[in-house]
Amino acid sequence: MKKITMKDIALKADVSVSTVSFVLNNIGEKMGISTAVINKVLLVAQELSYKPNMIASSLRTGETRSIGLIIEDISNQFFADLAKVVEDEARRLNYRVFYCSTGGDGQRAEELVNSLLQANVDGFIIAPTEKLEKSIDNLVKMHVPVVMIDRYFPGQSVSSVVMDNYEGAYLATKKLMDSGCRNIAVVNVNSGMIQMKLRESGYENLLKEHGLYDESLVLHVDFQDSESDKITKIADFLKLHSKIDGLLFLSNYLGLCGLQAFRQLGIEIPRNISVISFDDHDSFRLHTPSISVVAQPIVAMAKKAVDMLVSQMTSGKQAVIENVMLKGDFVERESV
């Protein structure tokens, strides 16, 4: 079962390899190949069930029709959903996707960028971790197309697609307030990343506008902490501030830990405390009671990111920076 190449087709169809290449790339007509020859080549290609060798084509053209997707953790549902939409959308445009998880580790992230660069991906979609800023600077300097998703570095001239995190948190906090909560706490991760800061600002500003802000009701846990450490920290925080009657979790894994903390402490939602989390998750839908969330518009974000990247990749080097912000969806459930 030898590999069929263009040479085999050329031989059998009694034309040159160039002609075969033109026909198979659908530029036969443009190159003035006669219809008869075009049809013959097509027929022979089919008979031999020819499959183009993308490696050879990539070497020659310098393009791989592939996209590198760098995310934090593929086993986090938010990223898995994101990856799936990116994959589907890319396939539709005849691109392949390489996924990689950084695990929040800056060094690993940098290695991944290099390794994808070495694989000659045509462009990157990146949900960056903190230490990735200079790697991305490098990509930009090398004129490699990049689109950031979910997060970005303020001040860096790179295209991005994000949710309006400030507004999402602002409105979620307002929901809690409107439902009667007056001691609304927030749980955030200790992170310099802009999307987390904006979420916290949304929370903070809404409360300040109503004179309800209390700095001691802000808890930061470390991303690197184990799940049980996070749960313990949240539980301790809740024990310390028993007046808390509303709680906003700024990411899905924080919310998941929080639910376990409530359970340990026997706190009932929404009787004792009203709860909203960022990012939707099966467990929030399924929880008793179900948990209201600020869901990211994952499908729209992923599609937009792919489209922006592809247009960067195909439109030559004039890098048009585009920063897109999409509205989140508030999903009302039983927890408020």
Partner DNA sequence: CTGAAAGCGCTTACAG
Residues that bind a copy of itself (CB under 8 A): 1, 51-56, 58-59, 64, 73-75, 77, 80-81, 83-84, 87, 96, 98-101, 114-115, 117-120, 141-142, 256, 259-260, 263, 281-283, 286-288
Residues with Cβ < 8 Å from 181, sequence gap 6 or more? 245, 246, 274
Q: Rounded to whole angstroms, how far apart are CA atoms 273 and 158?
A: 41
Would you call 160 helix, strand, or coil by DSSP?
strand
* Closer residue to a copy of itself (CB): 19 or 252: 252
Judged by CB under 7 A, does residue 7 bind DNA?
Answer: yes
**CB contact at 8 A, 302 and 82:** yes
Instruction: Please give the structure tokens belonging to residue 247.
Output: 């709680």
Out of DNA, a copy of itself, none, what residue 34 binds, judged by CB under 5 to 8 A for its kind, is: DNA
Rule CB under 7 A: choose which of 12, 52, 130, 225 binds DNA: 52
Residue placing its CB nearer to a copy of itself in the complex, 88 or 225: 88
Q: Which residue has the tokens 């089919």?
A: 46
Q: Is residue 34 a contact residue for DNA (CB under 7 A)? A: yes
Q: Which does 36 bind (CB under 5 to 8 A by kind): DNA, a copy of itself, none?
A: DNA
We find the least distance from the C-beta atom of residue 174 to a copy of itself, in angstroms, to be 27
Residue 87 touches which of DNA, a copy of itself, none (CB < 5 to 8 A by kind)?
a copy of itself
Binder of residue 119, out of DNA, a copy of itself, none (CB less than 5 to 8 A by kind): a copy of itself
Q: Which of 119, 126, 73 is nearest to 96 (CA)?
A: 119
12 binds, among a copy of itself, DNA, none (CB under 5 to 8 A by kind): none
The answer to whether the peptide bond before residue 289 is cis (omega within 30 degrees of 0) is: yes
Spatial contact of 120 and 58, defined as CB atoms under 8 Å apart: yes
Residues 6+ apart with CB under 8 A from 289: 269, 270, 333, 334, 335
Distance CA 172, CA 274 (A): 11
Q: Which does 44 bind (CB under 5 to 8 A by kind): a copy of itself, DNA, none?
A: none
CA separation for the pair 213, 204 (Å, rounded): 6
Q: Does 31 bind DNA (CB under 7 A)?
A: yes
Interaction of residue 117 with DNA, rule CB under 7 A = no
Q: Where in 53-82 is the site for DNA (CB under 7 A)?
A: 53, 56-57, 59-61
